[in-house]
Amino acid sequence: MGFDAWWVPDVPLDDGEQVTLEILANHTVSRWRAVGGKLALTDRRLRFRPNRVDRSLGGEVWSVPLDQIADVGRQPRTWNLFDGGLRTRLRVTTRDGAAHLFVVNRLGRVVDAIAAARGGLPV
């Protein structure tokens, strides 16, 4: 087991589910906190797994089925040091109207991958 696999413990996938993109990320959970871990895009959902330290401090696994994503795009900087707002973030808006923010590298690539995975799903 490599350090990366130890640092961000795996959460089992559903039978037949395939990961298409996995990237280190910080998930903004409040104005004062971003949780470190990994964001994974599968053929069925988008999910975030916190690293060991953030999980021990209350960080939670987050997941949303692709058909529940209403919009994906970029969230402008807020300049808040603690929530990842020093960078433009990935914004995933779900059908219930909630916006979920993630700091990721290669933001354009991630936005494009999620949009493509959603395909022609109606908004």
In a domain, 107, yes or no: yes
In a domain, 13, yes or no: no
In a domain, 34, yes or no: yes
pLDDT 10s digit of each residue in the chain, 123 long? 677 777 887 888 889 999 999 999 999 988 888 899 999 999 999 999 999 998 888 889 999 999 999 999 999 999 988 888 899 999 999 999 999 999 999 999 999 999 999 885 544
Q: How many domains does the chain have?
A: 1
In a domain, 39, yes or no: yes
DSSP string, 49-113: EE-HHHHHTT---EEEEGGGEEEEEEEPP---TTTTTTS-EEEEEETTS-EEEEEESSHHHHHHH
CATH of the domain at 79: 2.30.29.30
Instruction: Report which of 114, 108, 113 is spatially closest to residue 92, judged by C-alpha positions.
Output: 114
Range of the domain at 72: 19-118
In a domain, 5, yes or no: no
